[in-house]
A and B are shown apart, each in its own frame.
Chain A
Amino acid sequence: MSSADGTLLDLYRRMLRIRFFEEQVNDLYTSAKMPGLAHLYIGEEAVAVGVCTALRDNDYITSTHRGHGHCLAKGAAVDRMFAELLGKEAGYCRGKGGSMHIAEQEKGNLGANAIVAGSAGIATGAALSAKKRGTDQVAACFFGEGALGQGVLYECMNMASLWNLPVVYVCENNMYNEYTHYRETTAGDIAARAEAFGIPVQDGDGQDVRNVYEVSAIAVARARAGDGPSFLHFRTYRQRGHHVGDIDRAYYRSKDEERQWAEDRDPVKILGQAMIREGAADAAALDRIEEEVRTEIAEGVKFALDAPYPQPEEVTTDVYA
C-alpha cells in the first residue's frame, strides 16, 4: 500500500463510512424502522477495510452475520445496503436477504451468511473454481473467532491446503462468541489449528488498518501467486453488543474493558490521530471527510426509507423448486 495521503484518507473514509452506517443502523433499529436483527461491526472496521483494500474488485469475499462492514468495504453502495436492511425492493437482494445475507456478485461478494462458519465452503470453493478456471482471483473468507468451534472450517482448511487453493481465512477475533468469552470456548492455541494443516498464520492488530492491510497484502499476494492458503488472525473488539438489543452486557464483560477499547483502541481514531501526527492530513481534511460521509449516509437512509417494499409476486420470484 502506498502511504500517500490519498490512500490513507481513503482508508479513513471507508472506515468512517462503516462506522456511520452502523450508527445509523442502530438508530433505525431502535426507532423500530428496521425489522429483524442487527449485528453491528463498530470497532472492527479496520479489519474489513484493510483486507478488502488488499483485494481486487473481481476477488471474492464471503461474510458473516456481522457483515455490513465487509460488504461496504468490498464496494457495496450505502443506499442499496440500507434498502436491503429495511426489506425494500431496491436492496441488493430485492429485500429477500436482509441484514445477514447481503450479496453483490458484481463486486465478488458471494454473500453474508447467518450460519457461523457457513461460508467456509463457499469461499474455499470459489478459490477452487478460480484455480480451475485459470484466473488469478483470490477468495477471502471472513469469520469471527466463534467459527473456530465449527468442524466444517477445518474440513475446508484441510482441503485448501491439500489443493493449494488461493484462499485467505480471515479470523476476526473480537473476543466474544455472542455472549461468551472465547477463552471459555477455544482450547489451545488458535494459530496452531491452522498450522496443523500446513497453513501459514499471521497475527495482526485488527485496530490498525495499515497493519491489517500489510498483513493481508502478503497473504493475498501469496494466494495469487499460487502459493496456497493463509490464515490471518486479527485481534479486534466488538464495541457494541452481539446485536443491537444486547444492551446489558455486564454479566459477560466489564464497562472498563469496553471503555478502554473504545477510547484507546478505536480503529477510526487510531488512523485519524496517526495521520495528523505524521502530517499526512490535518484536522480540517478529516472534518471534511466526516461531513461528506455523513451526507452520503443521510442520503442513503432517505433513499431506503422512501423506497417501495417488494410487490407480493416477489415472494415466488426466483423460486424454481
Chain B
Amino acid sequence: MSMPEQAVAERQLTMAEAVREALAEEMRRDVCVFVMGEDVAEAGTPFKVLKGLVDEFGPERVMDTPISEAGFTGIGLGAAMTGMRPVVDIMFGDFLFLALDQIANQAAKVRYMSGGKLSAPLVIRTTLGATRRSAAQHSQSLHALVSHIPGLKVALPSTPYDAKGLMKTAIRDDNPVVIFEDKMMFAVKGAVPLEDYTIPFGQADVKRSGDDITLVATSSMVYVALSAADLLAQQGISAEVIDPRTTVPLDTETLVASVVKTGRAIVIDEGYQSYGVTGEIASIISDQAFYHLDAPVKRMGAMDVPIPFSPALEDLTVPTPEKVAELAAKLCRKGS
C-alpha cells in the first residue's frame, strides 16, 4: 500500500465518512464548491453518505434537485463553465444513461471544442456495484461507458483513504471527472489521516505485493482480488494485487511493470466483461508485456446479462474470490 506509514496508526473512517470529509474539507477551502443532486441535503442520499453536510453548508451549497438527471447535470456543467466547482450527485450509476448527452456530448468536449477557451471543473459523483439485490436498473457498473469518451477522467476508489484523496483531486481538477463509489462498500473501514492530502490521478496502487501472478482489480473487485490472494497464498502462490484507481488516466507503467515481474495477469472488474475495462487493460498488458508472459492475460468482468434480482442468480454474475483464485491457480500451474 502506498499509504504513508504514519497514517496507519491513525483513525479509521468508513468509506462514506471519508467521502463526506473530502467534500466538507473542499467546501470549506473553496466557496465555489457545492453539491447538487437528488436527496443530497436533509436525506444525505439514500446511502447517507452526505449526512450532515447540509447542516454545515446550508441548502444553497447542498442543493436538492428534482429527479432530472439530464437537467441538473447540464446545470452543473453551466455553473462549472462560469466559475463554480459543482459536485453533481447521480444516485445510481445506472442513471448516467439519463444524463449522457450532458456528460459525453457537452462536458467532455467543451474544452477541446472551444479551442481551450472554456473549461468545466465538474465532478460527477456516482455509484457502481451489484449484489445489493437491486436488479437490472440499479446495479450496473458503467465506468467503461464514460472511460470510453475522450475528455472525461474516471476514478474508482477502493478504500476510504483512496476515496478521500481521489475526491479531493477530482474537485481541484479543472476538467470533468466521473467518480464511482461502490454502494456495497460505504461501510468498509480504513485508515484516513487527519492532514490534507490528495491522490494524483493516473497512479495505480499496489494493494498487495506478490511474485507469481498480477491481479489487476478495480473498486469492489480489489477486495475480491485480495481475498483471492489469501486463498492462493494457502496454495503457495504469491499474487500481486494492483488497483489502477483511475481508468482515465491509466497508469499503464505500474501495471505492465508488475506483469513483467510476475509473467501472468488476470484483470478483474465489475463492469460487463464485453467491450469493457477488462478488455482494455488486458489488451495493454498483452501488448506491452507480451515477451514476459507465461500465460494468456485473462479477464473477469461481470457476466454479460442484465443483472438479475434473485440472490441465487445475481451472485453468479460477479467475480468471486474463489473463481479468481481458481483461474489464477490454473494459470500458474500451466505456466510453471
Residues of A within 8 A of B (CB): 60, 62, 91-97, 101, 103-105, 110-111, 113, 115, 118-130, 132-133, 139, 151-152, 155-156, 158-159, 162, 317-321
Contacts and interface: CB of A to CB of B under 8 A. Distances in A.
A103 B110 CA distance: 9
Nearest to A93: B115
A104 to B, nearest CB: 7
B76 A125 contact: yes
7 contacts: A120-B71, A121-B75, A124-B74, A132-B84, A133-B84, A318-B111, A321-B154
A43 B73 CA distance: 34
Given A93-B117, A132-B60, A162-B66, A320 B175 contact: yes
B150 interface: yes
A91 B78 CA distance: 23
B118 A111 contact: yes
Interface in B160-200: 175
Interface in B56-91: 60, 65-66, 68, 70-84, 86
B52 interface: no
Interface string B103-139: 0011000111111111000000000000000000000
A245 to B, nearest CB: 23
A133 B151 CA distance: 27
Tell me which of B72, B78, B86, B150 has the highest count of chain A C-beta atoms within 10 A of its own C-beta.
Answer: B78
A320 B72 CA distance: 24
A312 B84 CA distance: 33
A125 B115 contact: no
A125 B75 contact: yes
Contacts, number: 148
A97 B65 CA distance: 32
A7 B105 CA distance: 39
A115 B80 contact: no
Contacts of A318: 111-112, 115-116
A129 B79 CA distance: 5
Nearest to A157: B71
B102 interface: yes
Interface residues of B, number: 42
A317 B78 contact: no
Contacts of A130: 82
A125 B82 contact: yes
Nearest to A165: B75
B114 A97 contact: yes
Contacts of B114: 92-93, 96-97, 101, 103, 105, 111
Given A92-B115, A118-B105, 20 more contacts: A93-B115, A94-B115, A96-B112, A105-B117, A115-B101, A121-B70, A121-B72, A124-B75, A128-B75, A128-B79, A129-B79, A130-B82, A133-B84, A155-B71, A155-B72, A156-B71, A158-B71, A159-B68, A318-B111, A319-B150
Tell me which of A105, A120, A123, A155 has the highest count of chain B C-beta atoms within 10 A of its own C-beta.
Answer: A155
A198 B226 CA distance: 55
B83 to A, nearest CB: 6
Given A120-B74, A151-B70, A126 B175 contact: no
B71 A93 contact: no
B249 interface: yes
B116 A125 contact: no
Given A92-B115, A103-B118, A159 B71 contact: yes
A118 B102 CA distance: 7
B75 A96 contact: no
A121 B79 CA distance: 9
